Structure 1
Amino acid sequence: MLQTMRNKIKGLVAIFLIGLLVIPLALLGIENLFYKNPYAPDDVAEVNGQKITEREVQLALQSERQRLQTQFGTNVPTQLLSDESLRGPVLDRLIHRALIADVAEKGNMTLLDKEIDEIIVKLPDFQVEGKFDSDRFVNLIRSIGYSPATFRAMMRKDMVVNQMKNALLMTDFVTDQEIERAVVLSRQTRDFEWITLALGDLPESMLVSDDEVNEYYESNKQDYLSEEQVAIEYLELRVDQLEKDVTVSDDEVRAQYEQELDSLSKPTEREVAHIMIEGNDDAAQAKMLEVQEKLAAGEDFATLAAKYSDDFGSRDNGGHLGVSTGDVFPAEFEQALLDLKEGDVSEPIVVDDATHFIKLLTLNAYETPSFEKERLRITAELKRIKAEEKFVSDIEILKDLAYNAENLEEVGIELNLPVNKTALFSRSGAKDVILQDSRVLEAAFSDRVVKDGFSSEVLELSTDNSAMVIKMIEHKPVRTLTLEEKKKDITGELKLEKAKARLTEQAVSIRESLDNGTSLSALSEEKGLSLSTQVAAKRHAAGVPQELLNHLFAMPHPDDDQGRIDELSLDNGDYVIVNLTKVTSGDIENLTDDERKSLKTNLASSLAGDEYQAWQSMLREEANVEVYNTETSAL
């Protein structure tokens, strides 16, 4: 590709463009100790031979929590953010992502490193004052558990997966016949009337005897089990806590500053444009003199470049060549640039058998930041590095000391860590933030901790910067709840059952009367019930329970003018008897062009979504998928 460009592009702009293409985003290839997890992550699942690791799951969990917190703010329930709630769906998405990535890879879909790098440097999150900042990039991705290489790999996979999805979702279409059928159904209206037998306070009036409660308890006590509960003590090792005790000397900070001077220093940038006149014959000389005269007369440089320049790559852009830091163009060209002030145009300069008029558009001279300006940043980074080194060594000490410890007090003293304790909790009712991590819950209820009485293995938490070990201090096994513990619940259940049975009896009586020819309106008057009526009701109508509307629009059309009777028990306990009297199909003739266009777009999107889901299901059925930890998966 580069050779083709060399053959087709003439002038200095070719040198400049090719130079840009071969500049690597070097920092993305850098790896160091501080990005590496010292503990090999466990494999959670395997999709067609491709591993999904616990680290990937934890990163996805962290991302999903951040998404929920951004969307709902402080209103998001804590339980919704727990590993128990999120892990199954997150793992499900990772499996589907791996399935699509596998198809894309087999289809040779990919993105070049250069394409990924170009996207990364343009992301606003990684920019300072509108320009890519490598320090900001590294710090941000590090804060969410990525190294530069793993972040780029994640982006490549996500973008390829999205390309594959879009290729499928953007290819669906709908016919006019499908639009007509959709309008007939979606804009259909129905006329109906109904009466409601309200549950209300009826259960409170029902009488339930002790014998009934006892009998119900004996018949169902196999289901009345308490939840297993444990209370634990734990030690948590955190990099941010270790960092508070780390000291860094001025000499260390100064030495690091000196080491970073080359990277901190930025060369002066000059934005440049030119008018190039090829050759040195009489015609070229005449052209050069004409340009020189017009420049001296104050004519616009960009306009002259468009008219006279022989550099076809730049002339239509005002002769713009981009930015040089002193090493992009030939030496004579760069020297001429050095002699110019911002806005000046050079005298004619001959370079490689071509004459150039060079204009300095902008001049950006960067000052190397002083030691005092960089002191806080460097100090923080050195403290973090020392804390991470201590974190790694302390984990090994924690492993050795906690293995056979009678309790965690002595271990905590050795490592200067507080021993934290929890109240009793179950698998589903843990309120402590630390217990929202599924691996902590799993360890707390493991045989090793509960039955054998040992400390747990060292557990890595949601990030690579935190680890903990736990030990049980109290255990309450599963047991059958007593009659006294369940009496109130059972009494409520029996009262509700009796109340619903009472409503069913009333409904049967009303239905018999309707079957004998009595109208619903007459029955409502006779029994003192309120009759509600809807004319031309749509699928969503104000004042009508949605459950009732869903049921009505699923009913067959009425056979005659008398209508079609049906009944329905609502989720709130109310009992409804309804008479569907008329069905009117949607009218496509009244559809405007905008409505037709919108409907066509929505219908195509819906069909594409359905087909995409079907395709995903097919991939899953045909794939070799194995989930190793089924207890924490929704699959």
Structure 2
Amino acid sequence: MFDLIRNHRRWLQFILLLLILPSFVFVGIQGYSSFMEGDKALATVAGEPVSQQEFDAAVRSRLDQLRAMMGSQFDSQAFDTPAMRQAVLDELINTRLIAAEASQKHFSASDEQLRATIQAIPAVQENGRFSNARYRDALAAQGMTPVMFEAQLRRDLALQQVLGPVAASAAVPEAVMSRLVAAATERRQLQTLRIAAADYRAKVSVSDDDVKAYYEANRTRFAVPEQVDAQYVVLDQGAATSGIAVSDEDVKSYYEQNQARYRQDEQRRASHILITADKDASDAAREEARAKAQALAEQAKAPGADFAKLARDNSQDPGSAASGGDLDWFGRGMMAKPFEDAVFSLQQGEVSAVVPTDYGFHVIKLTGVRPAVVKPLAEVRSQIVEEIRQQQAARRFAEAAEQFTNLVYEQSDTLDPAAQKFNLKVQDASGITRSGLAGNEVFGNPKVVQALFSEDVLREKRNSGAIELEPNRLVAVRAAKVTPASVQPLADVADGVRKQLVEDKALALARADGEARLKALQAQDSTQGFGAPVTVARNAPQGLAPAVLEAVMKASADKLPAFVGAQAGDAYVIARIEKAEAGQAPDAALLANEKSMMERRWAQAEQLAVLQALRGKYKASVSDNGKQQVSPAPAR
């Protein structure tokens, strides 16, 4: 059949044109596009879709980050969960919402803000000061140019203006903080009396009719989901691209074709003296600063002048004054425009006239010039070899992936041809449900599980298509055996049901007895049967069950002793509260830390409220396709 298609390609193209053209006539270009693309949008924000591809890329990025952080301890099944996928989709939607609001409000970042942000990044600093060389090296390691990075950063800074002020303005009122501290540190002395369900088991009888009635009323609890035994093959880049060699000719050719990448632009080194004057300062204040800078410029130009000493004694730049005004090496685009223009117009050792910028007035001395150069081949050879190897690997894997995809599609009743072609092993997995298979790197992936349970694979017993597990890693699966969903027979679960009914009834008797004793104690105080006194607080529960602690701390302390009760696990616990007193206030440092933590939570709550409001404003919605991507599959 495929030979027929290849041999009659021109005729088939003509026939396809005849079939496709009427669809444009009757449904229009937009309708045809929608038909071809399908409903790929997972969500919509301000009329713009969040695509399946965008979501998949974000999920992969999140998992890659976790893998990089955890190394060999990383387990994709533990992290690729419905909750994680919901969080990723929410982040994508929130990013779109923030971008829409920033665009509508015309938020932007100034050149000064961009420059200050870059210079404050620790990774591009040397000895606490910005290093242009480190900046460019750091970007090159990420495959970015300064223009690309700065455009992205400028956008991020603009987006921060949507929620940034909300977080910055969050503050917990002192009255609220005082009440929270008082509630957390209040101490109560109490004794407890535990009425255990185990003491009532002998009084419980469970008949066969009871077991059967419970089974019939709770059949869903005993359901066993549909299960599949499957076969699969995995193709990764290592299997497809082993043995790549890079020749000297390849390296030389690559270097000659990409010399622009290995060019280092001209760099200059300068020292400066800054007399600060805010751009919004009065004319008189700026004129005074200018005059001071002018006097220093004249001193710096005098024969034998010690520029470094003048800078240490007079410069108001805290970052460079101590080092004689030295600014290290930098290229174009990293300094304020007037400053940069002045530096690149000077000759070696020359001192500039006074240069005004938004920061004040500068006197600049050019101390060094590095002309533009192209790095020699020997210096960049290892980098080129790795880049060529990666390119060849990507090309060979792409070719292998295409062949792999064709093989599992064309011979859809077996995975053997694909496995033999690439020397892969056909692997088996059993007991797979629609919720996946815990601990299995393939069938813990929701995309693979969705493909396995598709009609073609599950019912028609065909191979799935090639599914991307992660970049440069594909899998194809097929169903070997299908076990339909069923309900476990009563005989298999009767003992477990009987045991559960005994426990439930025993606990009900213990609770009833406990509530009766609590009522009697509230009428007449007694310590009989209670344990030794213990002092608890919300921030020091001393092992007290949460339900009991909550009841104790909520009880009124106006009249003591007081009695409260609560169910805790397999017992009913009565607490006799003897004393209540204010706790010791935490020290100032701890209190400040708690306040800071509370304000962060407060800020997060207010930011979430803003995002929720933006969802309404920009009509954000999640499609059925999006809900399927993040909703948990039926329980096993």
- TM-score, with length taken from structure 1: 0.70
- Residue 448 and residue 307 in structure 1: after superposition, are their counterparts in 2 closer, same or farther (change >3 A)? same
Question: Counterparts of 1:213 and 1:375 in 2: how far apart (Å)?
Answer: 77
Give 1:630's match in structure 2, choosing from 621, 627, 630: 627
Contact 2:227–2:432 (8 Å) recurs in 1:
yes
Could you say if the C-alpha distance between residues 388 and 185 of structure 1 is closer, same or farther in structure 2, counting changes exceeding 3 Å?
same
Indicate conservation of the 8 Å contact 2:244/2:389, yes or no.
yes
Identical-residue share of aligned pairs (%): 21
CA deviation digits over 1:224-251, x for unaligned, max 9?
1112222333343434443324343332
In the alignment, what sits opposite 2:452? 444
1:164 to 148, 162, 165: 162
- Tell me what 2:505 maps to: 498
Partner of residue 22, structure 1: none
> Is the 1:195–1:532 Cα contact (8 Å) retained in structure 2?
no
Alignment check: 8 A CA contact 1:213 1:487 kept? yes
Q: Return closer, same or farther for 1:615/1:293 CA change in 2, 3 Å cut-off.
A: closer
Distance (Å, rounded) in 2 between the aligned partners of 1:249 and 1:575: 78
Contact 1:79 1:85 in 2 (8 A): no
Query: Residues 230 and 472 of structure 1 are in contact (CA less than 8 Å); yes or no, is this contact kept in structure 2?
Result: yes
Q: CA deviation at 1:450?
A: 0.7
Residues 326, 494 of structure 1: CA spacing in aligned structure 2 closer, same or farther, 3 A cutoff?
closer
Structure-2 residue corresponding to 1:574: 571
Shift of 1:117: 8.6
CA distance in 1, matches of 2:510, 2:157: 57
Unaligned runs of 5+ in 1: 1-38, 276-286, 338-344, 351-356, 525-529
Q: Is the 8 A contact 1:227 1:477 kept in 2?
A: yes
Amino acid at match of 1:95: I
CA distance in 1, matches of 2:227, 2:404: 26
* CA deviation vs aligned residue, 1:398-426 (integer Å, no higher than 9, x gap): 44333342112123334555434333322
Deviation for aligned residue 1:192:
3.7
Tell whether the 8 Å contact from 1:124 to 1:130 is kept in structure 2 after alignment.
no
* DSSP-derived class of the 1:611 partner: helix
Aligned to 2:383: 377
Q: Report how far residue 359 of structure 1 moved.
A: 6.7
CA distance in 2, matches of 1:308, 1:192: 69
Normalised by the length of structure 2, the TM-score is 0.70
What is the 5 A alignment of 1:431-510? 431-463=439-471, 465-510=472-517
Aligned-pair CA distance for 1:502: 3.6
Number of aligned residues: 548
Alignment of 1:240-259 (within 5 A): 240-259=238-257
Displacement of 1:454 after TM fit? 2.6
CA distance in 2, matches of 1:324, 1:430: 53
Distance 1:223 1:478 in 2: 13
Q: C-alpha separation between the residues in 1 aligned to 2:443 and 2:583?
A: 54
The reply on whether 1:544 has 2:544 as its aligned counterpart is yes
CA distance in 1, matches of 2:75, 2:485: 27
Which residue does 1:612 correspond to in 2? 607
Q: Which deviations, in whole Å up to 9, do the C-alpha atoms of 1:409-465 show, x marking residues without a partner?
A: 1233345554343333222433221223221111111222112323223323333x3
Q: Is the 8 A contact 1:197 1:576 kept in 2?
A: yes
Q: Which residue of 2 aligns with 1:51?
A: 49
CA apart distance, 1:45: 1.7
1:33 is matched with none
Residue type matched to 2:545 in 1?
Answer: P
Q: Tell me the distance in 2 between the aligned counterparts of 1:294 and 1:365.
A: 27
Change beyond 3 A, Cα 1:414–1:385: same
Trace 1:583-602 onto structure 2 (pairs within 5 A).
Answer: 583-584=580-581, 601=596
* Residue equivalent to 2:417: 410
SS of equivalent to 2:527: helix
Residue 56 of structure 1 deviates from its aligned partner by: 3.4
Counterpart secondary structure, 2:431: coil
Q: 1:551 to 1:94 in 2, by over 3 A?
A: farther
Residue of structure 1 aligned with 2:194, choices 190, 193, 196: 196
SS in 1 for 2:517: helix
- Give the match for residue 283 of structure 2: none
The question of whether the paired residues in 1 share the 8 Å contact of 2:511 and 2:567 is answered with: no
CA contact (8 A) 1:58 1:462 kept: no
**Partner secondary structure for residue 575 of structure 2:** strand
Contact 2:551–2:565 (8 Å) recurs in 1: no
Q: Check 1:233–1:602 CA distance in 2 against 1; reply closer, same or farther (3 A cut).
A: closer
Task: Find out whether 1:217 has 2:210 as its counterpart.
Answer: no
Letter in 2 for 1:437: N
Distance 2:263 2:119 in 1: 19
Mapping for residues 38-117 of structure 1, pairs under 5 Å: 42-65=40-63, 68=66, 79-111=77-109
Whether contact under 8 Å (2:230, 2:429) holds in the other structure is yes
**CA spacing shift, 1:292–1:372, aligned 2, 3 Å:** closer
Partner Cα distance (2:196, 2:330) in 1 = 81
Unaligned runs of 5+ in 2: 1-36, 274-295, 334-339, 354-362
Contact 1:84 1:438 in 2 (8 A): no
Partner AA of 1:554 in structure 2: K
The separation in 1 between residues aligned to 2:307 and 2:613, in whole angstroms, is: 62
**Equivalent of 2:225, from 224, 227, 230?**
227
Q: CA RMSD in A?
A: 4.9
**Aligned pair 1:511/2:518, yes or no?**
yes
Amino acid paired to 2:420: I
Find the aligned partners of 1:499 and 1:290 in 2 and give their Cα distance. Answer: 96
